[in-house]
């Protein structure tokens, strides 16, 4: 019986509440018979609701919470050698379950745990990177204490990256961050999205009324207020906003104050498979995201063949975004969104060409089956003692 130990910082209860149970997300290709998920928190999710994440494997949940109190001070700001006592519990767990492989998601404390298991027991690990910590530090807005914590994490980040058998950034831009570390085994492996329910768009005739969709966390840096204001320049269109977050009430108030409340439909939560299954019914997908990389919320409509409109980022652009080929890039202003949306709404051929271009690009680069097979092959090589 082969087993995998997954180490994550996330509370899986949040995935259940959002309906984001991607099939085999923690067990690509059903490669393992048992999957043990170690959460660096006190979350106690309903395991029966998470079964799909590990496919046909048996799911086992464990917790390794960060100690309360002055843990940060006692470890002198998370110095790796002072974290060993805390991580020893995970080492004991790994010794008991004897996993063939460890996979850590992000290179913070959970990445360090994987590194410690390898140091003590010699079990190899893959490290998946979903964000750029350097970018997050530059953008930090949550007070000086949080910024101190983020900067203190640098030594842990280096330890977990440099000791990993293979580092798996989930989009190309993360390579700008990883190139500073000494690890030659870095392979882009796009984040797993689910094709469950995704129906490719075939009819590009405009709906009555035309419908625009945006999906994502309603937070600073992902706030679609300018997309809402763009409706002033568009006739008849309806906008569905799916998501929740700190900016939700602000956006509802904005729509009300601007006389657009009857044209904007706010949906705080909807199962991911239900969103994906209905995407083909929309005419356009539009998004605002100031963070680096291509989010799943954009990958899924591209897979569905929707024409996509996304804002340009300040500074470096997202390598996966090719303006006019697989989407349209706009300035993050009401006029920027309105101009692109007007072009698309007035041109059936352009909508079809852009939607089909998006789908072709998506199937080539991050088709779920291709992405899953890639991770399976890498996992098998690492288990066999090989490198990429």
Residues of the chain with CATH 3.40.50.2000: 3-194+368-383, 211-366
Question: Residue 385 — very low, low, confident or very high, per pLDDT cuts 50/70/90?
Answer: confident
Question: What is the three-class DSSP state of 67?
Answer: coil
Q: List pLDDT tens digits, range 299-318.
A: 999 999 999 999 998 777 88
Q: List pLDDT tens digits, range 119-146.
A: 999 999 999 999 888 877 766 555 667 7
* Predicted TM-score of the model (pTM): 0.86
pLDDT at residue 143 in the model: 66
Q: List pLDDT tens digits, range 61-119.
A: 999 999 887 898 899 888 999 999 999 999 999 999 999 999 999 999 999 999 999 99
CA atoms within 13 A on the CB side of 274: 7
Quick check: 388 pLDDT over 60? Answer: no
In 10 A of CB 208, how many CB atoms? 7
Bond prior to 142 in cis (omega within 30° of 0): no
Report the pLDDT averaged over residues 1-23. 87
Closest to 354 in 3D by CA, of 318, 287, 306, 321? 306
Instruction: Kindly state the DSSP code that residue 210 receives in the 8-state scheme.
Output: -
Q: Does the structural domain 3-194+368-383 have CATH classification 3.40.50.2000?
A: yes
| Beta carbons within 8 Å of 282's beta carbon, 6+ residues apart | 207, 211, 212, 213, 240, 306
Q: What is the CATH number of domain 211-366?
A: 3.40.50.2000
């Amino acid at each position: 019986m082969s087993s995998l130990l997954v180490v994550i910082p996330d509370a899986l209860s949040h995935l259940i509440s959002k309906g984001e149970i991607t099939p085999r997300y923690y067990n690509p290709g059903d490669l393992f018979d048992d999957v043990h998920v170690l959460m660096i928190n006190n979350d106690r999710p309903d395991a029966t609701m998470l079964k799909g994440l590990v496919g046909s494997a048996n799911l086992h949940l464990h917790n390794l919470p960060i100690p309360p109190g002055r843990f940060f001070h006692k470890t002198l700001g998370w110095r790796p050698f002072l974290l060993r006592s805390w991580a020893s519990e995970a080492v004991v767990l790994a010794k008991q379950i004897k996993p063939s492989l460890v996979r850590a998601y992000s290179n913070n404390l959970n990445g360090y745990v994987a590194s410690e298991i390898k140091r003590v027991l010699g079990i190899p690990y893959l490290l998946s990177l979903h964000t750029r910590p350097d970018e997050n530090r530059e953008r930090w807005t949550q007070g000086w204490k949080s910024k101190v914590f983020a900067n203190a994490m640098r030594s842990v980040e280096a330890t977990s990256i440099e000791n990993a058998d293979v580092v798996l950034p989930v989009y190309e831009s993360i390579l700008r961050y990883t190139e500073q570390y000494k690890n030659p085994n870095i392979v882009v492996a796009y984040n797993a999205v689910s094709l469950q329910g995704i129906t490719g768009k075939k009819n590009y005739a405009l709906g009555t009324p035309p419908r625009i969709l945006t999906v994502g966390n309603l937070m600073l840096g992902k706030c679609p207020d300018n997309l809402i204001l763009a409706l002033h320049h568009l006739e008849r269109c309806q906008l569905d906003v799916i998501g929740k977050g700190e900016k939700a009430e602000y956006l509802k108030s904005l729509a009300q104050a601007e006389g657009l409340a009857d044209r904007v439909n706010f949906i705080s939560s909807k199962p991911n498979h239900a969103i994906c299954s209905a995407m083909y019914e929309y005419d356009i997908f539009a998004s605002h995201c100031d963070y680096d990389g291509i989010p799943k919320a954009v990958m899924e409509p591209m897979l569905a063949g929707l024409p996509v409109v996304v804002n340009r980022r300040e500074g470096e652009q997202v390598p996966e975004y090719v303006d006019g080929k697989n989407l349209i890039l706009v300035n993050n202003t009401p006029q920027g969104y309105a101009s692109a949306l007007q072009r698309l709404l007035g041109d059936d051929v352009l909508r079809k060409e852009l939607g089909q271009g998006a789908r072709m690009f998506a199937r080539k680069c991050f088709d779920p089956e291709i992405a899953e097979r890639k991770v399976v092959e890498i996992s098998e090589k690492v288990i066999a003692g090989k490198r990429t």
